[in-house]
Chain A
Amino acid sequence: MEVLKLATAGSVDDGKSTLIGRILYDTKSLTTDKLEAIEKTSKQKGYDYLDFSLATDGLVAEREQGITIDVAHIYFSTAKKSYIIADTPGHVEYTRNMVTGASTSQAAIILIDARKGVIEQTNRHFFINNLLRIKEVVVAINKMDLVDYSEETYNNIKADFEELMSKRDYQDQNITFIPVSALKGDNVVNKSENMSWYSGTTLLNHLENLDKGDIFNAGTPRFPVQYVVRPKTEEFHDFRGFAGKVYGGELNVGDEVIALPSQTKSKIKEIYFYDKKYQTAARRSSVTITLEDEINVSRGDMLVKANDLPKIEKQFTATISWMDAQNLSAGNKYVLQHGVNKVLAKVDKIHHKINPDYSGIEEGVSSLGMNDIAQVTFKLNKPVFYDAFKEHRTNGSFILIDSQSNNTVGAGFIN
């Protein structure tokens, strides 16, 4: 069992915080003191029910306005799994937060208000989860209690959503529909008694039984070097270890590897995790590797298997999600961070904007504003070693940093 990271998306008032609060409550993850705080505040506000959204809305401004304005992380566990929920807001202006939350998630819940059905916001939520190639998506049709638990309403919404699905780029995404009432607790953790027509499982049960399989993109091992360990002690006088995290697939002692960008060949001599040697470095493990030959490798370089090279280019085209108030225009320069490697990037061409609601593309744009998504070609001052995002979620993504403000201003997914 590992940790399941879960993103949530819903529009304002779709009841996202209430759903999370409900999950926490029904899995008995809310501690007595937190529960008492919720009861107390609900009473102060004059509610005749428990306002579970109070369990997650952390910042003062959120409590005042009753909305969620940033990504919050919520933790709970069952006997089977540990869950981390990235609670991201649904307003149109917070696309960037949704992209951020989804980037670290392996599964996502999209909420739909049963009274409203599929709205423009739903298109956006689905678009982003599909763009980020999240393997498992649950469409939770919420507030079923307010539509008399109607099967017909559920089926209509499902049909509308299925129409969207035909437009998606990443067709292998698994999508599951569940009718729920977060407020009343139907089909969240406990099976509803009000919807006998629904033969599927509850939301939590579905998540519990997700076969995580290869949510992290199995396949090609990539080892970006984070740090060179040189102890310079008597005992480890000549030790030169390359510390990093293994992505994509495992590495073994004896593997023939090539260091990029120098393209020098060597073999893996030892694999350390702390003070123990291992034969294999598993996917996503943070190890230290030594090589048979003394070759020049430093931070930002990458070790790959000799027979399986990534693309090595000084130019590429990517779908980017722009996250800054200052526009991106052709000719602008940014620091491009690809994994742990940083290069300078110049915007060569903005090809077109992609409307994140499946309403098509916009050509002839000269700049991008906050929350825009677009196809952009970059020229780089040094080559990067990348794979297409659809083949390698880690080695196919990057962030853009503004060298004036130092802020992270965009995220990219390489074609």
Chain B
Amino acid sequence: MSSTAHINALENESIYIFREVAAQFEKPVLLFSGGKDSITLVRLAQKAFWPAKIPFPLMHIDTGHNFPETIEFRDKLVEELGLELIVRNVQDSIDQGKVKEETGRYSSRNHLQTTTLLDAIEEFKFDACIGGARRDEEKARAKERIFSVRDDFGQWDEKNQRPELFDMLNGEIELGQNVRVFPISNWTELDVWSYIEKEQIEIPSIYFAHKRKVFLRDGLIWSHSEYVYQEEDEEVIERMVRFRTVGDMSCTAAVFSEASDISSVVQEIRDSTISERGARIDDKRSEAAMEKRKQQGYF
């Protein structure tokens, strides 16, 4: 359940975290994917610093395989709020020969983002990267600190994390290291949706039910798109669907849904018996898929 008092408590905690980032670091950046969690982060940052502008830029690591609706939304939001947006492309990392495009049935660029991200952190010398990961999403993320230190190689040493006591956040780092910051660590999926409803925050249209060409594989609903590998015998059908989580087209599965506005989406989440990341194809690779990616520098 998500009552107002409970959402307010989470909001106050997140605002506190944003202010600690601005005060403790020289070059923070908010990693913005265009998904609902990073949109929520932007709203919280606005609240933390009002009437001043958000004192750091947004950065999008663009795989080139995004839903076009997400990109449109991103550009509109940045313009409306007068924010600085940095975009770095996975395609460039591929062209530079730093990463290799995957091929075959489960190919995705999701993995490749890590290299592009780490390069961008070095390029801009960011010392704090704010992300929208939540501890309720996945079991490796359940162990994340709010300020999570990454070494010179962007790696996470999950067995040697700094203890976080009370609400004191230790952002001391050496030159070259950076801290990943997770202001909505303690929010659940339902909390985020309830907040979006309460605050009337605009989100990309793909989160609401719409007609889409899809195909079925392994019990998941895949988007029919030039970016998604599809066997000849995998039949394209048109259905009412929506997305619960938005990553790349190649790693995000849809759910059948008729929920076309925010209150019906909140209701649907409340009644749901499948977890959010159940629709993330990238997590299904192995039981420890997320932990392995995080050690290498992924979010």
Contacts and interface: CB of A to CB of B under 8 A. Distances in A.
Interface of A: 1-3, 31-34, 37, 41, 56-61, 63, 69-75, 77-82, 84, 96-97, 99-100, 103-104, 226-227, 229-233, 235-236, 239, 241, 243-245, 272-275, 284-286, 288, 299, 323, 335, 337, 339-340, 393-394, 397-399, 401, 403, 406-408, 411
Contacts, number: 180
Contact of A229 (B1, B52, B142): B52
B57 interface: no
A58 B275 contact: no
Contact of A399 (B47, B139, B149, B170): B170
B1 A82 contact: yes
B165 A73 contact: no
Nearest to A72: B142
A72 B172 CA distance: 23
A1 B5 contact: yes
Given A33-B278, A58-B139, A323 B168 contact: no
A401 B142 contact: no
A96 B164 CA distance: 10
A285 to B, nearest CB: 5
A32 B274 contact: yes
28 contacts: A1-B5, A32-B273, A32-B274, A32-B278, A58-B140, A58-B291, A59-B159, A70-B158, A70-B161, A72-B142, A75-B188, A77-B190, A82-B2, A84-B186, A96-B163, A99-B163, A104-B165, A231-B51, A244-B19, A275-B51, A286-B12, A286-B13, A335-B172, A337-B168, A340-B20, A401-B172, A406-B170, A407-B170
Interface string B165-189: 1111010111000000000011010
A407 B20 contact: no
Contacts of B139: 56-59, 72
Interface residues of B, number: 59
Given A56-B139, A337-B170, A394-B166, A243 B1 contact: no
Nearest to A339: B168
B142 to A, nearest CB: 4
Contacts of A79: 1
Contacts of A2: 5-6, 9
A74 to B, nearest CB: 7
Contact of B142 (A3, A74, A244, A337): A74
Contacts of A58: 139-140, 142-143, 291
B10 interface: yes
Interface in B1-41: 1-3, 5-6, 8-13, 15-16, 19-20, 22-23
Interface in B258-283: 272-275, 278
Contact of B6 (A1, A60, A99, A274): A1
- Residue among B19, B143, B158, B165 with the highest chain A CB neighbour number at 10 A: B165
A245 B12 contact: yes
B115 to A, nearest CB: 23
A243 B16 CA distance: 9
Given A34-B275, A77-B1, A69 B159 contact: yes
B16 to A, nearest CB: 5
A60 B288 contact: yes
- Residue among A79, A274, A394 with the highest chain B CB neighbour number at 10 A: A274
A104 B51 contact: no
B162 interface: yes
